[in-house]
């Protein structure tokens, strides 16, 4: 077993097929296929179920993913640590972020980081919930994650969390007719007859929307959508009112939409999270630039 085989294996895991992995790695498909067959022979187990062109992990393959990422991570850490002896002049940092937090605070973090370290390439993987972020970090598919935990700051054994900010929730509408009369904060019971655009069940946005539905007479869901990037276009199209995290305020106002604070006990505690242990020079630099000195 060698590192090349493990990297090819992980590329197929991430891309879903040998063809896609070959395109990602810019190598010939037979090279990946031969490496996978050799790895399976050495381990004495099939790593993938082959269903047409797509490969699905077997139980043995699933067991190999985390150790393979660990090996590749430590080798990359060794290489990047040596390169960083004379300064951080390149490299790559992979992060995971929940959608709303990619809008803010991650966008601002990336701006500050790129100003300090313009040669480092940052790749951001999309995740939906805090457990998704932790899973991506746990298996080594990303080194840092931006997570928004409802109610209280995230605490998880084996992880370090740097608190960034606490976000509230807001309503975004096309015009005043979609919102209760008067300026200032809006209480859920005042959203009589509201047509709501909501996120999927299990999200903070959905819980807040359901609190409106429970007390506002005639309110209803008109669209439930997983792709949060489509929320503002739907509001702009006059479909309804969106319940979103505070992070969307700047983008919504820039698009000419109305944003009103919503009175709700629900909050999101936003943190920058990583596994305990040593980080790459790029990840350490990101923390120095973007995270407070204290951690949870």
pLDDT at 97: 95
C-alpha dist (Å) from residue 139 to 45, 159, 238: 21, 13, 42
Query: Residue 240, preceding bond cis, omega within 30 degrees?
Result: no
Domains of the chain in start order, with CATH, are 1-86 (1.10.10.10), 90-165+267-296 (3.40.190.10), 169-266 (3.40.190.10)
**Residue 97: strand, helix, or coil:** strand
pLDDT at 267: 93
pLDDT at 294: 62
Q: Rounded to two decimals, what is the model's pTM?
A: 0.72
Give the Cα separation of 67 and 250 in Å (integer). Answer: 41
SS3 content of the chain, % helix, strand, coil (to 5): 45, 25, 30
Provide φ and ψ at 293, rounded to 5°.
Answer: -75, -20
**Residue 210: strand, helix, or coil:** helix
Contact yes or no for 55/49 (Cβ under 8 A): yes
For the beta sheet containing 220-224, the strands, ordered from the edge strand earlier in sequence to the opposite edge, are 220-224, 195-198, 241-245, 169-173, 258-261
- Predicted confidence pLDDT, tens digits, the chain (296 residues): 788 888 888 888 888 888 888 887 788 888 888 988 888 888 888 888 877 767 888 898 888 888 887 777 777 666 666 555 455 556 788 999 998 899 999 999 999 999 998 988 899 998 888 999 998 888 777 899 999 998 888 999 989 999 999 999 999 999 988 998 876 789 999 999 999 999 888 788 889 999 999 999 999 999 998 888 888 999 999 999 999 999 999 999 999 999 999 999 999 999 999 988 888 888 988 999 998 666 66
Contact yes or no for 257/272 (Cβ under 8 A): no
């Amino acid at each position: 077993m060698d590192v090349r085989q493990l990297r090819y294996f992980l590329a197929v895991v991430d891309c879903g097929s040998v063809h896609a992995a070959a395109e990602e790695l810019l190598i010939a498909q037979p090279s990946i296929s031969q490496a996978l067959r050799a790895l399976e022979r050495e381990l004495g187990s099939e790593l993938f179920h082959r269903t047409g062109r797509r490969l699905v992990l077997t139980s043995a393959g699933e067991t190999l993913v985390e150790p393979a990422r660990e090996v590749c991570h430590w080798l990359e850490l060794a290489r990047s640590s040596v390169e960083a002896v004379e300064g951080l002049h390149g490299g790559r940092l992979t992060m995971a972020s929940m959608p709303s937090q990619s809008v803010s605070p991650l966008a601002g973090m990336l701006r500050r980081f790129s100003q300090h370290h313009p040669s480092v390439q940052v790749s951001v993987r999309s995740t939906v919930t805090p457990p998704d972020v932790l899973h991506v970090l746990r298996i080594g598919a990303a080194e840092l994650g931006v997570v928004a935990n409802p109610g209280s700051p995230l605490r998880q054994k084996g992880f370090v969390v740097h608190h960034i900010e606490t976000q509230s929730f807001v309503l975004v509408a096309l015009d005043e007719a979609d919102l209760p009369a008067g300026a200032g904060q809006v209480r859920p019971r005042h959203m009589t007859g509201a047509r709501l655009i909501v996120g999927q069940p299990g999200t903070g946005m959905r819980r807040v929307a359901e609190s409106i539905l429970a007390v506002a007479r005639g309110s209803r869901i008109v669209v439930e959508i997983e792709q949060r990037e489509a929320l503002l276009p739907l509001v702009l199209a006059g479909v309804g009112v969106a319940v979103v995290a505070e992070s969307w305020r700047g983008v919504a106002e820039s698009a000419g939409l109305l944003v009103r604070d919503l009175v709700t006990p629900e909050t999101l505690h936003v943190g920058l999270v990583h596994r305990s242990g040593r980080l790459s020079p790029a990840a350490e630099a990101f923390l120095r630039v973007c995270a407070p000195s204290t951690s949870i």
